[in-house]
Amino acid sequence: MLWRSAFHSRSSRGVVQMLHQMLGGLELSPRVASSGCVDGSRGGRASSAASTRCRISSEHPHSLEFRRHRGVVGRLSGRRSVSVLAEETGAFGAPVSSLALRIGEVLREHDIVRHADRVVLCVSGGVDSVALLHLMVELRQEWALDLHILHFNHGKRAESREEEAFVKDLGAKLGVEVHVRRPTKAFDTSGFQAKARAWRRDEAEKLLDAVAGRVILQGHHADDQTETVLMKMMRGCHVSNIAGMSHRAGKYGRPLLDVSKEDLRRYLTSRALEWREDASNADVAFLRNRVRAELVPVLRELTDGGLESRVEDIIEQSASLRRWLDAQPSSIVDAGAGVDDLAHGEVDVAAWSNLPELAQEDQLFEYVRRSTGVAVRYHNLRKVCRQMRNDTPAWDWRLSKEWNLVRVGSRAWTQRKRGIDKVEATPSAPSASEVERVVVDGGVVVSYPKGWRVRCFWENSAAAAAAAAAGDGVALA
pLDDT recorded at residue 2 = 35
Measured CA to CA in angstroms, residue 339 lies from 17, 342, 343, 364, 420 at distances of 45, 6, 7, 20, 18
Give the pLDDT score at 7.
38
Do residues 66 and 261 touch, judged by C-beta distance below 8 A?
no
Phi/psi of residue 400, each to 5°? -160, -175
Cα torsion 461, 467, 471, 476: sign: negative
For the chain, which ranges sit under pLDDT 50? 1-12, 23, 25-82, 422-427, 474-477
Kindly report each contact of residues 152-155 with a partner whose C-beta sits within 8 Å and lies 24 or more positions away, as own/partner: 152/46, 152/122, 152/124, 152/180, 152/181, 152/182, 152/200, 152/203, 153/180, 153/181, 153/182, 154/45, 154/46, 154/182, 154/183, 154/187, 154/196, 155/182, 155/183, 155/186
* Closest CA relative to residue 417, chosen from 377, 372, 386: 372
Rg (CA), the chain: 29
Find the Cα–Cα–Cα–Cα dihedral 156, 158, 162, 165, rounded to 10°.
Answer: 40
pLDDT score of 465: 61
Q: With both helix axes pointing from N to C terminus, report the angle between 160-174 and 127-143 in degrees, rounded to the nearest 10.
A: 20
Cβ count within 10 A of residue 408: 13
Tell me the longest C-alpha to C-alpha distance in the chain. 97
- Tell me the helices (H) and strands (E) count for the chain, helix number first: 15, 19
Give the Cβ contact number of residue 42 at 10 Å: 24
Q: Are strands 146-152 and 118-122 parallel, antiparallel or unpaired?
A: parallel
pTM attached to this predicted model:
0.66
Q: How buried is 398 (Cβ within 10 angstroms: 0-12 exposed, 13-18 middle, 19+ buried)? A: exposed
pLDDT given at position 430: 57
d(CA 30, CA 47): 41
Q: Say what the pLDDT of residue 21 is.
A: 60
In contact, 435 and 421? CB cutoff 8 Å? no
